[in-house]
Amino acid sequence: MTISPFGARRRGVRLLRNGVAAGLALGLLASVQYLAASTGRAELPRLLSQTGLYAAGAGTTAIDPQNRPFSPQYPLWSDGAGKSRWVRLPAGATIDVLDVDRWDFPVGTRFWKEFTFGGRKVETRFLRKDGPASWSFASYVWNEEQTDAELAPEGGVMNVAEVAPGRRHTIPSVEDCRACHDSARTEILGFTALQLSTDRDPNAPHAEPLTPGMVTLKTLVEERLITPARPELLDAPPRVAAPDPRTRAVLGYLSTNCGACHNAESSLASLGLLLKARLEPSHAPHHDPVKKLFKPTAKWQIPEAPDGASAFVTPGAPDLSALLVRMRSRRPSTQMPPLGTVLHDREAIDLVTAWIEDLGRR
């Protein structure tokens, strides 16, 4: 019997789900191998150990020192996953930062992001720039022995690890990856002037400490890894424009977790909810990013709220603030962000709730 690649993938996914549900680790790995082979992505290495992340001859025990660790000041919420991140620029290459909000990476740039749950490696995502406007997206599934990770299928892998009772982590499809990274052009959400700024927000939700050797904006400037030089990025390190520390933390969180879709260049721009922090415009006189959130919204009507009472943010009224209502939801049809999470981000919800309540007292 002949099975089409699409049909084979669907069949493989069904087998994979059954294998996970039964806790059959060998079945999981075999299904991932089958599915990866069916995608025809021969240009991507089959194993994570073959992507250049690890030192030659070290298996997966030592990171190649050419791969530099970094930590964004506003991490993306991923159901409490522990994360490690690395970047590798081609030898002698630099990042074009003529537009401080739209970095252009040299061809050959590679990024990795490792996810751990309960101390176990579950997934490592891999991005590689293949051409002037071309990136490869891939995810690798770690085996039970934690010795290596296998290339996942383009359609993703369901339910690979439990993150809470009855809740499991799903490895995203390539399409889902592009949904977040390809709003108008491919962007690296955690590797920007704001994310790498040395003026780090001490109140950022889920903030991760910088450790020795991590790349920062200071590193890039001093090592002349960006062009043009832009010394002003050190003289006045980028930060979210905000009137107080709590607002700064809220806007920074929303920029990372929502701004990839809700920005002026995306297909959602007409919604009017522009959450991506932009550094140069935000330094303009009389800039007030908060008031723009007070506008009414008919598209995000809050259930049971009177007509016309729903706004993105209603000062003093968290339950009438559509943005927060979406953050609290984990129904696929209404939750925000719509991808990559199955658990509430309690820390962020508490922060935004307190911020909205405080807005009503001003």
pLDDT in tens, 252-303: 999 999 998 888 888 888 888 889 888 754 444 445 678 889 988 877 888 8
Query: How many structural domains compose the chain?
Result: 2
Residue 35 lies in a domain: no
Q: Are 148 and 246 in the same domain?
A: no
Same domain, 169 and 307: no
Q: Are residues 172 and 219 in the same domain?
A: yes
For residue 138, being part of any structural domain is answered with yes
Q: What are phi and psi of 26, to 5 degrees?
A: -65, -35
- Residue 175's pLDDT band, with cuts at 50, 70 and 90, is confident
Q: Are residues 353 and 266 in the same domain?
A: yes
Instruction: State residue 47's pLDDT score.
Output: 98
Q: What is the pTM of this model?
A: 0.84
CA dihedral angle for residue 269, residue 300, residue 171, residue 260, rounded to 10 degrees = 20
Q: Are residues 49 and 114 in the same domain?
A: yes
CB 255 within 8 A of CB 240: yes
Pair (181, 93) in one structural domain:
yes
Specify the higher pLDDT residue, 99 or 299. 99
Task: Check whether residue 76 and residue 221 sit in a common domain.
Answer: yes
The CA-to-CA distance between both ends of the chain, in Å, stands at: 70
State the pLDDT at residue 24: 34
The answer to whether residue 346 is domain-embedded is yes
Q: Is 317 helix (H, G, I), strand (E, B) or coil?
A: coil
Q: Which two tokens stand for residue 330?
A: 């984990």
Q: Are strands 95-96 and 120-131 parallel, antiparallel or unpaired?
A: unpaired
Contact predicate 151/36, CB 8 Å: yes
Of residues 340 and 118, which shows the higher confidence score?
118
Q: Is the pLDDT of residue 332 over 70?
A: yes
Q: Residue 344's domain spans which residues?
A: 241-359
Q: Which helix (H) or strand (E) holds 122?
A: strand 120-131
User: Which of 190-194, 245-249, 331-335 is least confident?
Assistant: 331-335
Q: Are residue 202 and residue 245 in the same domain, yes or no?
A: no
Residues 54 and 25: their CA atoms lie apart, in Å, by 24
Boundary residue ending a domain (192, 207, 239): 239
In this prediction, residues 216-245 reach a mean pLDDT of: 94
Q: Is there a domain that residue 293 lies in? A: yes
Residue 96 counted as domain residue? yes
Among 33-37, 72-76, 152-156, 169-173, which is the least confidently predicted range? 33-37
Do 224 and 154 belong to one domain?
yes
Q: Is the pLDDT of residue 82 over 80?
A: yes
Nearest Cα neighbor of 55 from 38, 69, 67 is: 67
Domain boundary among the residues 189, 205, 239 is at 239
Burial grade of 187 (CB within 10 A; 0-12, 13-18, 19 or more): buried
Both 233 and 107 in a single domain?
Answer: yes
Residue 226 has a CB neighbour count (10 Å cut-off) of 20
3 state DSSP class of 108:
coil
83 and 211 fall within a common domain: yes
- pLDDT for 186-197, tens place per residue? 689 899 999 999
* One domain for residues 253 and 235: no
Residue 217 located in a structural domain: yes
